[in-house]
């Protein structure tokens, strides 16, 4: 199995974690010349002030570049890395399992006209962080070799990959970050497209253009219309690196099939600093396109009671003209309490707070659906760090929403989160990360084994309520100390889920990840380890 080198450590922050037990982390002199520049104190200050609010991979990349060793009290440069390995059992399908790369934060989309044609994306991390695409012609039973996505420069790195098909099935769109190296903090959101179901790609085209050292874009998502193939919608979070350091939810659209995007619209923003005192953090936006020009964007807003403290909102804005203009902000959900920064108990495991970000979809009849995570027990002292929640609205303009209900039916004190919700099968379907199954083995963190393993579970809305939860993953994965990605994904039209998989790991400090997938033909009954 692949062992990380000092070179790979410097280029991708998730690879920072490969130091031997009694050695110091690599110094700047060990890194490639193309990624080494002096960072000015002002750039360091600006980026450091926003660091925790970034999505995880950009956070780790920036922390490594600025030589920041701890984030929220946890070292992101552990001094050891347990690389013991076990044999993989092919119960599910390995979508992306290159032994010489880390692959995580997966996305998947199904061709709406030929549902056995699937395209998947993920991080591909070796000496740099890139994004890959793979395709399947048999409903996800087998997958192609990877194609690395094009970037704006030869040294750009990639993050936050996400896919969406046009409604006519002729193009599949791939949105991702283009991260230029310091000393200029220049993060753009770009889109490439494929006209051959993921075999080759054209692009990238800039959807949201950051301004070096002034503001950057993070955490993109992409959506398309249900009945007009020329429209492509992209959202992201804009982080200001000047003034108070505010954050904003930004929206851009293409009216020509993804090659040109109009100027951004701001859908929500903080004032007085992003998460400073009563100023909210806004993050995790996603657009959903319906029929007849309807577009709905949903995102997380921490509220004015303090970031990661107290209640929070899932906010929405609606457009009836393909995203040309938007109506007012609607608080679709106000829920308590916020998920912790790190998954517990006692912040033992990977970054968790972005599990509150919503997944949003519009069904064929025009109804809207939102899934997200809240923590029913405040703080991270217990293993109860998340439940999967659901709210719905009957139709545009989506100003009235149901009270949120809990989808997971485990009844245990455990963590559920990172829900992916889709309606392309005709019924709302949800899939998520779930730690409910009993654990065995030696404790690895503060004497606890709770939440040490995770699975993927799923449920389908049956008209009068959600079905009993079913286990999708065939074997449990061991938790990671830092990062398993900020989302998993679901293509409901093909009933196919993808997730970051760690079933072959024997330690939370083994940081190599794979991407696995499963369709309904492989759904497993719940079984103990």
Residue 17 has pLDDT above 70, yes or no: no
Which residue is listed with tokens 């030869």?
154
**Residue 267 within any structural domain of the chain:** no
Residue 43 has pLDDT above 80, yes or no: yes
Statement to judge: residues 107 and 68 lie in one domain: no
Report the alpha-carbon angle 346-348-352, nearest 5: 95
Cβ pair 162, 107 in contact under 8 A: yes
- pLDDT band, very low/low/confident/very high, at 116 (cuts 50, 70, 90): very high
Of 267, 214, 284, 222, nearest to 243 by C-alpha is: 214
Statement to judge: residues 133 and 241 lie in one domain: yes
Q: What is the mean pLDDT of residues 143-170?
A: 97
> Could you tell me the strand order of the sheet in which 107-110 lies?
107-110, 118-125, 129-136, 147-148
**Residue 197 within any structural domain of the chain:** yes
Is residue 58 classed as helix, strand or coil in its secondary structure?
A: helix
Structure tokens, 217: 């874009």
Cα(268)–Cα(214) distance, integer angstroms: 19
Statement to judge: residues 197 and 51 lie in one domain: no
Residue ending a domain, among 75, 101, 133, is: 75
For the chain, report the end-to-end CA distance as a whole number of angstroms. Answer: 24
C-alpha to C-alpha distances, 61 to 68, 81, 158, 185, 228, nearest whole angstrom: 10, 18, 10, 11, 37
Residue 16 has pLDDT above 60, yes or no: no
Tens digit of each residue's pLDDT (9 = 90 or more) over 66-109: 889 999 989 887 644 555 444 333 358 999 999 999 999 999 99
**Residue 438 within any structural domain of the chain:** yes
- pLDDT band, very low/low/confident/very high, at 42 (cuts 50, 70, 90): confident
Tens digit of each residue's pLDDT (9 = 90 or more) over 205-247: 999 999 999 999 999 999 999 999 999 999 999 999 999 999 9
Give me the pLDDT at residue 22, please.
30
Statement to judge: residues 153 and 38 lie in one domain: no
Give me the pLDDT at residue 520, please.
60
Residue 522 has pLDDT above 70, yes or no: no
pLDDT, mean over the chain: 88
Statement to judge: residues 312 and 374 lie in one domain: yes
Residue 520 burial (CB count, 10 A): 16
Q: How many domains does the chain have?
A: 2
Tens digit of each residue's pLDDT (9 = 90 or more) over 334-362: 999 999 999 999 999 999 999 999 999 99
Residue 110 has pLDDT above 50, yes or no: yes
Statement to judge: residues 98 and 67 lie in one domain: no
Residue 238 host element (H or E): strand 232-240
Cβ pair 268, 249 in contact under 8 A: yes
Statement to judge: residues 68 and 138 lie in one domain: no
Residue 10 host element (H or E): helix 6-11
Statement to judge: residues 406 and 495 lie in one domain: yes
| Residue 488: CATH number of its domain | 2.120.10.10
Cα(303)–Cα(41) distance, integer angstroms: 31
Give me the pLDDT at residue 9, please.
27
Give me the pLDDT at residue 103, please.
97
Give me the pLDDT at residue 78, please.
65
Tens digit of each residue's pLDDT (9 = 90 or more) over 423-441: 999 999 999 999 999 877 7
Residue 25 has pLDDT above 50, yes or no: no
Is residue 49 classed as helix, strand or coil in its secondary structure?
A: helix
Statement to judge: residues 462 and 402 lie in one domain: yes
Give me the pLDDT at residue 439, please.
72
Cα(479)–Cα(233) distance, integer angstroms: 33
Which residue is listed with tokens 């396109």?
289
Tens digit of each residue's pLDDT (9 = 90 or more) over 327-341: 999 999 999 999 999
Give me the pLDDT at residue 76, please.
87
**Residue 269 within any structural domain of the chain:** no
Residue 31 has pLDDT above 50, yes or no: no
Statement to judge: residues 241 and 312 lie in one domain: yes
**Residue 425 within any structural domain of the chain:** yes
**Residue 528 within any structural domain of the chain:** no
Give me the pLDDT at residue 203, please.
97
Domain that holds residue 295: 93-253+280-522
**Residue 440 within any structural domain of the chain:** yes
Residue 464 has pLDDT above 90, yes or no: no
User: In terms of C-beta density within 10 A (0-12 exposed, 13-18 middle, 19 or more buried), how is residue 141 classed?
Assistant: middle
Cβ pair 35, 10 in contact under 8 A: yes
What's the half-sphere exposure (Cβ side, CA atoms, 13 Å) at 140?
32
Strands 265-269 and 186-194: unpaired
Statement to judge: residues 14 and 129 lie in one domain: no
Statement to judge: residues 466 and 505 lie in one domain: yes
Residues 6+ apart with CB under 8 A from 255: 230, 231, 262, 322
Cα(5)–Cα(9) distance, integer angstroms: 6
Residue ending a domain, among 47, 75, 103, is: 75
Cα(114)–Cα(286) distance, integer angstroms: 25
**Residue 447 within any structural domain of the chain:** yes
Give me the pLDDT at residue 514, please.
98
Chain length of the chain: 529
């Amino acid at each position: 199995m692949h062992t990380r080198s000092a070179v790979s450590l410097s280029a991708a922050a998730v690879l920072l974690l490969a130091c031997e037990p009694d050695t110091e982390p690599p110094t700047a002199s060990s890194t490639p010349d193309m990624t080494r520049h002096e960072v000015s104190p002002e750039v360091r200050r600006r980026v450091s002030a926003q660091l925790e609010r970034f999505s995880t991979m950009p956070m780790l990349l920036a922390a490594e570049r600025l030589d920041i060793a701890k984030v929220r009290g946890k070292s992101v440069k552990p001094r050891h890395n347990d690389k013991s390995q076990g044999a993989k059992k092919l119960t599910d399908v390995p979508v992306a399992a290159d032994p010489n790369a880390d692959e995580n934060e997966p996305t998947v989309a199904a061709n709406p006209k030929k549902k056995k044609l699937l395209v998947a994306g993920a991080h591909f991390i070796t000496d740099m962080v890139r994004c890959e695409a793979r395709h399947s012609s048999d409903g996800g039973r087998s997958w192609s070799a990877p194609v690395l996505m094009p970037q704006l420069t030869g040294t750009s790195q990639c993050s936050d990959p996400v896919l969406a098909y046009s409604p006519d099935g002729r193009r599949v769109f791939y949105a991702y970050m283009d991260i230029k190296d310091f000393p200029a903090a220049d993060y753009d959101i770009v889109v490439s497209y494929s006209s051959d179901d993921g075999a080759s790609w054209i692009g990238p085209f800039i959807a949201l253009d950051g301004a070096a050292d002034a503001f950057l874009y993070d955490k993109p998502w992409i959506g398309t219309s249900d009945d007009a193939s020329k429209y492509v919608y992209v959202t992201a979070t804009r982080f200001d690196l000047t003034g108070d350091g505010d954050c904003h939810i930004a929206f851009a659209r293409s009216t020509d099939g993804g090659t040109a995007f109009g100027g951004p619209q701001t859908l929500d923003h903080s004032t007085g600093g992003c998460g400073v005192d009563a100023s909210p953090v806004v993050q995790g936006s996603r657009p959903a396109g319906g029929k007849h020009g309807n577009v709905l964007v949903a995102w997380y807003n921490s509220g004015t009671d303090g970031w990661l403290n107290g209640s929070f909102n899932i906010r929405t804005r609606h457009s009836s003209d393909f995203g040309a203009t938007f109506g007012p902000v609607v608080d679709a959900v106000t829920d308590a309490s916020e998920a912790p920064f790190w998954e517990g108990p006692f912040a033992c495991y990977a970054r968790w707070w972005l599990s509150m970000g919503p997944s949003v979809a519009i069904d064929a009849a025009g109804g809207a659906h939102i899934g997200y995570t809240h923590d029913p027990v405040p703080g991270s002292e217990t293993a109860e760090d998340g439940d999967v929640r659901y709210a719905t609205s009957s139709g545009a303009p989506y100003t009235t929403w149901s009270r949120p209900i809990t989808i997971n039916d485990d009844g245990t004190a455990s963590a559920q989160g990172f829900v992916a919700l889709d309606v392309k099968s005709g019924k709302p379907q949800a899939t998520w990360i779930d730690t409910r199954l009993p654990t065995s083995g030696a404790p690895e963190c503060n004497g606890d084994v709770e939440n040490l393993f995770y699975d993927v579970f799923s449920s389908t809305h049956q008209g009068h309520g959600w079905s009993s939860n079913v286990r999708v993953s065939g074997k449990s994965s061991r938790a990671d100390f830092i990062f398993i990605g900020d989302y998993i994904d679901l293509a409901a039209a093909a009933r196919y889920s993808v997730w970051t998989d760690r079933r072959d790991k024997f330690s939370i400090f083994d940081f190599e990840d794979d991407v696995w997938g499963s369709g309904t033909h492989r759904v497993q009954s719940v079984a103990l380890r």
